[in-house]
Amino acid sequence: MKLYGIPNCNTVKKARDWLSAHDISVEFHDFKKHGLSVAIAQPWLQQAEWNKLVNRSGLTWRGLPEERKQQIVDDASALALMLEKTSVIKRPILEQDGRILHIGFDETAYTKIFNL
């Protein structure tokens, strides 16, 4: 099981703290250190709509020029943006065996996922 995100993100911190408090170990994939590959991101886009994966309320998105924002209209354009600016990805992404279990953090959802 893997958790994808960046360590200084508050939502990622909440997820990691929750997992730790429940003695659930996951491998952490830090986008800043390890980046993102097409092999990882492409399957996500097959499981979730691009607008669920791209955080359009975050600082990275808001910092994009308006022209660039308008170019993000489908999986291909979202993938290019996600690979270029990993901070635009909604975090964290909890994944097991290539399958997204949850995008973002929600204590109720995590409780259900882990049958707690």
Active site residue 9: yes
Token pair of 72 as six digits: 């993000």
Residue in 1, 9, 24, 100 annotated catalytic: 9
Catalytic positions, written as ranges:
9
